[in-house]
Structure 1
Amino acid sequence: MADAVRMLSTLALKGAVQALAGQYQAAGGVRIDADFAPTLALLDRLRAGEAADVVILTREGLDEVAREGRVVTETCVDLARSFVGIAVKAGAAHPDITTEAAVRATLLGARSVAYSRLGASGILFAKLIEQLGIASDINARALIIPQGFTAEKLVTGEADLAVQQISELKQVRGIEVVGPIPRELQTPAVFSAGRMAATKKPAEVDRLLRFLASPAVAPALRESGLEP
């Protein structure tokens, strides 16, 4: 579209991008035509030749496509840090997740835990339950979704706990975020943006990247569950 910038973005930034799109357009920027999916799915789509003007991925994912020449390295900018959290259905008791021992007991006590196969949160959680020595117990009754929002399984009653980036959990109504998994048990994901090498709108994209990396977007990032 001539009047829009085509964006492919990781799901973790969906809330923030949707909140900021109108603000950006009101300030004279072009419309943002965004499509959201986990980083690994977006990498597959980009390598299959899908066109975009700007991408938001994990820093590791962005570095990969920059090395492949798909993204202009000089335009890459870090936008936000994100932590993996745990959520329950609205109104449910909030379990203790303040320590490693508490997280282990909470996970083992759940009827079912929903987590995603793709994306930074799913990869981290799979490693975490291995590290805690409870992978076989949890996976025997887990709901592992290919992609999308794990907290939807709380609303349908299919799971007691949902694990995902806090910014992704907050996209689902009818749930409550208990809090982050203890920080000593996780490494925050860094989400970054860059201009696609093949874009026909470099000036528009560079303006958008400056906006997304500016202090003005910090409130929207925090509101969506991210850290600027």
Structure 2
Amino acid sequence: MSSLKILSGGAAQGLVASVAPKFKATTGLDIEGEFGAVGAMADKLRTGTPADIVVLTAAMITTLARENLVASRSIADIGLVETAIAIRAGDPPVSVRDTAELRKAFVAADAIFVPDTRASTAGIHVAKVLQQLGIADEVAARLKIFPNGATAMRNLAASTAARPIGCTQSTEILSTPGVMLSGSLPQGCELSTVYTAAVAAQAVDAGHAQDLIDLLIGTEQHDLRERSGFVEIEK
């Protein structure tokens, strides 16, 4: 066995990539698998896609534990991830300090890059926020929807639109070259999601899966988690 198999929400992709060299140095294993919308990743686990470790929202991990698809004793929270506004690197910052400014930013954009509005945590929330702001119909034609936030952000970085913005989880913004975090969603529209890791019930290498969880949540990775966009959960 040369690699540990992972199924993960896109929010954790940057953090996992950051710890991968240290994990390989200590175990000899690469980390391979898929990162995407949490609903899609959970369905892959349900339909038999091989996985040793799963990193999804806390709510989704709880559901998978009830379905006996992850080992309950292995469940560990990594941190909170905020949903935020992204801009292309070099574009003027977009102020979203309150709901009025957020509404103005969406209306002014000629392209809005978002993850799957049916299966991803951030995408589902963006759709709700647009409804809440009363502009869902007005901006519908400008939505650029992608399978996950990382793909949405890469396409924002390459966009030739005049005034594009993106909205996804902060971790996906911070880990994508060519885009910048312009501000978290304001009070009343905010979303902070707990991301959690667990060993898959059918893991081929449960021991090394637990080693990766311990690495992801370890105190020595505090600064790395922070740089990746994870906020420590207050005990």
TM-score bin, normalised by smaller chain? over 0.9
**CA pair 36-75 structure 1, distance change in 2 beyond 3 A:** same
Residue 208 of structure 1 is matched in structure 2 by 212
* Distance in 2, Cα, partners of 1:103 & 1:134: 11
Q: Which residue of 1 aligns with 2:130?
A: 129
CA distance in 2, matches of 1:15, 1:208: 14
In percent, how many aligned pairs have the same letter? 26
Q: Secondary structure at the match of 1:177?
A: strand
1:108/1:211 Cα in 2 relative to 1: closer, same or farther (>3 Å)? Answer: same
State the distance in 1 between where 2:89 and 2:48 align. Answer: 41
Per-residue deviation, 1:175: 1.9
Residues 70-79 or 152-161, more deviating? 152-161
In the TM superposition, residue 114 of structure 1 has moved relative to its aligned partner by: 1.3
CA contact (8 A) 1:8 1:42 kept: yes
Partner of 2:155: 153
Contact 1:149 1:168 (8 Å CA) reproduced: no
Q: Which residue in the other structure is 2:10 paired with? A: 11
Computed over aligned residues only, the root mean square deviation of the Cα atoms, in angstroms, reads: 1.7
Determine the C-alpha separation between the residues in 2 that align with 1:193 and 1:84.
19
Where in structure 2 are the equivalents of 1:42-81 lying within 5 Å? Answer: 42-81=41-80
CA deviation string 1:152-183 (max 9, x = no partner) = 23222246111110111223222222121114
Shift of 1:30: 3.8
Matched residue of 1:83: which SS? strand
TM-aligned CA deviation for residue 200 of structure 1: 3.0
| Alpha-carbon shift at residue 126 of structure 1 (Å) | 0.6
Unmatched segments (≥5 aa) in structure 1: none
Letter in 1 for 2:40: A
Output the TM-score relative to the length of structure 1.
0.92
TM-score by length of 2: 0.89
> Which stretch of the first structure deviates more once superposed, 17-26 or 204-213?
204-213
Q: Look up the match of 2:92.
A: 93
Q: Aligned pairs, how many?
A: 227
SS of 2:230's partner is coil
Question: Is 1:143 matched with 2:147?
Answer: no
Kindly state the Cα deviation for residue 217 of structure 1 after the two structures are TM-superposed: 1.5
Is residue 2:228 matched to residue 1:224? yes
1:83 shift after superposition: 0.5
Name the structure 2 match of 1:176.
180
Of 162, 171, 180, 2:166 maps to 162
Matches of 1:132 and 1:184, distance apart in 2 = 10
Amino acid of the residue matched to residue 76 of structure 1? I
